[in-house]
Amino acid sequence: MEPKQFKVAVVGATGAVGNLMVRVLEERSFPVGELKLLASARSVGKTLPFRGADMPVEELTEDSFEGVQVALFSAGGSVSRKFAPVAAGAGAVVIDNSSAFRMDPEVPLVVPEVNPQAAFSHKGIIANPNCSTIQMVVALKPIQDAVGISRIVVTTFQAVSGTGKRAIEELRLQVSDIVNGREPKREVYPHQIAFNCLPQIGPFLDSGFTEEEMKMVNETRKIFDDPEIRVCATTVRVPVFYGHSESVNIETRKPLSPEEARRLLEGAPGVKVVDRPAVSVYPMPIDAAGTDDTFVGRIRRDPSVENGLAMWVVADNIRKGAASNAVQIAETLLDGGRL
């Protein structure tokens, strides 16, 4: 019998994440029988490479999803809100990278290493979590399972690629302008991002937190299916192209030594422990970029609380934090016989 092949659509295929979704489908040999690349009318006429062929980009319309079985969306919340129900209505399983449906109780929020079974309860749409949440829960899952986690304090150092391709270009241009003595131009971020750190990702809420920070709080609770877990996040944009880093402090419900935590992490799916401080070996974004793993290092006791641990967690934000996680969700459905 011929192995089953699927008609797959990528919505936002010309964007930073969408482009990578196409590459990850190819790299991971997802059984794509037919591929539809969708973007705005601006991109009609462009092509993208897939398995050695130049594939045309088509305009996203209400009729784009006929016969599509898997639709990967990464074109922003408003496109998802409008077209994800259209795709699901046409019979596709939508895996949506925007935040539009993440907290919808009817929509599973899935990280395959953490809560794969949640994917099977979908009603047409599955949400891909926020990039910073994904890498944090991958690293914390073995500890949550072993001893429980009561509180997380996290500070992120987030790459500009998470904002999209215009932000990647903005950092490149600002660096070039500044080193050449020209005035840097600002369009995407409220301040200069080159040689700077911005403690704001997304709009501020009345509480003083940003939307990005509250995504980490609410999504972590949903993915761990633990409304009790207390999370305090500070999210910071830094002048890095690819790879988010996180300083994570946790309080566990039962005691866990750094050595035990390291052992648990070494056996965890999707995790690579990189932790030899004596020789300055620890995770860094330049090493994580281009990979699908979540790297954990600097694992140590946090002596300021009982049962405290501190660690440093790094992953490629547009691969594991977005495109690869989305394709892995599709693989989870496939392996579970749900496609």
Q: Identify which range of 38-46, 172-180, 216-224, 256-264 contacts ligand A2P by CB under 6 A.
A: 38-46
Q: Identify which range of 74-82, 194-202, 204-212, 281-289 contacts ligand A2P by CB under 6 A.
A: 74-82
- Comparing CB distances to ligand A2P, the nearer of 314 and 323 is 323
Secondary structure of residue 208 in the 3-state scheme:
coil
**Shortest distance, position 87 Cβ to ligand A2P, whole Å:** 12
**Shortest distance, position 38 Cβ to ligand A2P, whole Å:** 7
Q: What CA–CA distances, in Å, run from 312 to 21, 140, 278, 322?
A: 27, 11, 16, 20
Regarding 162 and contact with ligand A2P (CB under 6 A), the answer is no
- Comparing CB distances to ligand A2P, the nearer of 116 and 162 is 162
Secondary structure of residue 48 in the 3-state scheme:
strand
Q: How many CB atoms lie within 10 A of CB 256?
A: 20
**Shortest distance, position 35 Cβ to ligand A2P, whole Å:** 15
Cα–Cα distance for residue pair 110/118, rounded to 1 Å? 7
Tokens linked to 117: 């079974």
Among 8, 9, 15, 292, binds ligand A2P (CB under 6 A): 15
Regarding 43 and contact with ligand A2P (CB under 6 A), the answer is yes
* β-bridge pairing 6-11 and 32-39: parallel
Residue 303's identity, in one-letter code, is P
DSSP line for 99-127: STTTT-TTS-B--TTT-GGGGGG-SSEEE
Regarding 129 and contact with ligand A2P (CB under 6 A), the answer is no
**Shortest distance, position 133 Cβ to ligand A2P, whole Å:** 18
Asked if residue 143 lies in contact with residue 149, where contact means CB atoms within 8 angstroms, the answer is yes
Judged by CB under 6 A, the number of residues near ligand A2P is 17
- Comparing CB distances to ligand A2P, the nearer of 100 and 149 is 100
175-183's contacts with Cβ under 8 Å and 24+ in sequence apart are 175/239
Catalytic-residue membership of 122 = no
Asked if residue 260 lies in contact with residue 307, where contact means CB atoms within 8 angstroms, the answer is no
Regarding 75 and contact with ligand A2P (CB under 6 A), the answer is yes
Among 9, 16, 289, 322, binds ligand A2P (CB under 6 A): 16
Active-site pick, 122, 191, 232, 244: 244
**Shortest distance, position 12 Cβ to ligand A2P, whole Å:** 3
- Comparing CB distances to ligand A2P, the nearer of 74 and 252 is 74
Among 6, 8, 9, 12, binds ligand A2P (CB under 6 A): 12
Among 23, 55, 76, 124, binds ligand A2P (CB under 6 A): 76
**Closest Cα to residue 157, out of 75, 239, 100?**
239
Beta carbons within 8 Å of 75's beta carbon, 6+ residues apart = 11, 12, 15, 18, 38, 39, 40, 60, 98
Catalytic-residue membership of 244 = yes
Contacts with ligand A2P, residue ranges (CB under 6 A):
12-16, 18, 39-40, 42-43, 60, 75-76, 79, 164-166
Please give the positions annotated as active site.
Answer: 131, 244
